[in-house]
C-alpha cells in the first residue's frame, strides 16, 4: 500500500513557448507523516530509443510531509536545445514527473508534449535550422501513470482512524482516476521510457 498518492497535476502555463519554464501544481495525499522528504524530478525525453539523451530539467525536495492533502508548485527549466537532435525537436516528445522516497521511485507520471512552430507558414515550410524562439509546446492532458511498490518506513493508520486533515479535504480525483488508456501505437512508443502502465 502506498503512503503517498498523487491526486492531481495541473499545468499552470500550457500551452507555452518551448523555451518557457514549466510550471505546474502537484496535489497529493499522504496517509501518514513521513520521516524524510519526497524527491520530485522532471525529465524531458526527446528520443525514445536513446535514453542517454534524456534531460533532467529540475528536481526538488518537499518536506516535512504531514498527513492529509498536500500541494506545491514545481517550476522546471526548459530542455537545453543543443542536447536535442534536430530531427527530434518538432513533433512528439515525452515529459516525465517522478516521485521518490529515500531514493526509491514510487510513481512516474508521463505526458506527451507536441512541439511545433507558432505560425502556419513555418509549419508548412519548416526552416532548415530550427528557430527555437518561434516554437510552442502543448502538453497532453492524458497522463500515463506507473506505480512502483517500495519499502515505506511509516505505517498507515489503522481502520477507524482518519489521517489529520483528511476528513475536511475536498474531493479531488485520485491518481487512480487518471487516464491510463492509450492506443496501441502510443503504448508501443512509450514503453522504452517507462510511460506505460506497469
Checking if the pLDDT of 196 tops 70, the result is no
Q: Which domain holds residue 98?
A: 4-193
In a domain, 172, yes or no: yes
Characterize the bridge pairing of strands 91-101 and 135-139: unpaired
User: What pLDDT is recorded for position 176?
Assistant: 41
Dihedral angle computed from the Cα positions of residues 97, 71, 7 and 149, in that order, rounded to the nearest 10 degrees? 60
pLDDT class of 162 with cuts at 50, 70, 90 = very low
Question: Where does the pLDDT of residue 159 fall: very low under 50, low under 70, confident under 90, or very high at 90 and above?
Answer: low
- Whether 102 maps to a domain, the answer reads yes
Answer yes or no: is 144 within a domain: yes
CB-facing half-sphere around the CA of 96: CA atoms within 13 A = 24
Residue 11 pLDDT > 90, yes or no?
yes
The answer on pLDDT for 170 being more than 60 is: no
- How many domains does the chain fold into? 1
Percent of all residues in the chain with a pLDDT value above 90, rounded to a whole number: 73
Tell which wins on pLDDT, 154 or 197: 154
Q: Specify whether the CB–CB gap between 7 and 175 falls below 8 A.
A: yes
Asked if residue 198 belongs to a domain, the reply is no
What is the predicted pLDDT for the residue at 13?
96
This model's pTM is above 0.75: yes
Is position 48 within any domain? yes
CATH (domain of 131): 2.60.40.1490
Question: Closest by alpha carbon to 40, among 19, 21, 24?
Answer: 24
pLDDT at 145: 96
Residue showing cell 528557430: 131
Q: For residues 106-132, give the mean pLDDT.
A: 97
How much is the pLDDT for 49? Answer: 87
Average of per-residue pLDDT values in the chain: 84
In a domain, 113, yes or no: yes
Q: Report pLDDT for 189.
A: 32
Amino acid at each position: 500500500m502506498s503512503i503517498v498518492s498523487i491526486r492531481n497535476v495541473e499545468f499552470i502555463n500550457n500551452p507555452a513557448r518551448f523555451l518557457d519554464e514549466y510550471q505546474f501544481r502537484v496535489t497529493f495525499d499522504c496517509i501518514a507523516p513521513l520521516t524524510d522528504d519526497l524527491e520530485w524530478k522532471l525529465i524531458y525525453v526527446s528520443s525514445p530509443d536513446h535514453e542517454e539523451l534524456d534531460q533532467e530539467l529540475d528536481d526538488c525536495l518537499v518536506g516535512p510531509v504531514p498527513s492529509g492533502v498536500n500541494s506545491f508548485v514545481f517550476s522546471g527549466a526548459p530542455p537545453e536545445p543543443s542536447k536535442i537532435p534536430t530531427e527530434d525537436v518538432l513533433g512528439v516528445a515525452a515529459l516525465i514527473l517522478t516521485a521518490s522516497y529515500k531514493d526509491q521511485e514510487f510513481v512516474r507520471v508521463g505526458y506527451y508534449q507536441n512541439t511545433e512552430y507558432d505560425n502556419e507558414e513555418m509549419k508548412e515550410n519548416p526552416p532548415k535550422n530550427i528557430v527555437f524562439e518561434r516554437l510552442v509546446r502543448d502538453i497532453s492532458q492524458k497522463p500515463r501513470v506507473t506505480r512502483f511498490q517500495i519499502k515505506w518506513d511509516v505505517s498507515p493508520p489503522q481502520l477507524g482512524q482518519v489521517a489529520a486533515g483528511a476528513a475536511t479535504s475536498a474531493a479531488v480525483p485520485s491518481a487512480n482516476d487518471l487516464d491510463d488508456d492509450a492506443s496501441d501505437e502510443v503504448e508501443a512508443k512509450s514503453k522504452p521510457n517507462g510511460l506505460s502502465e506497469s
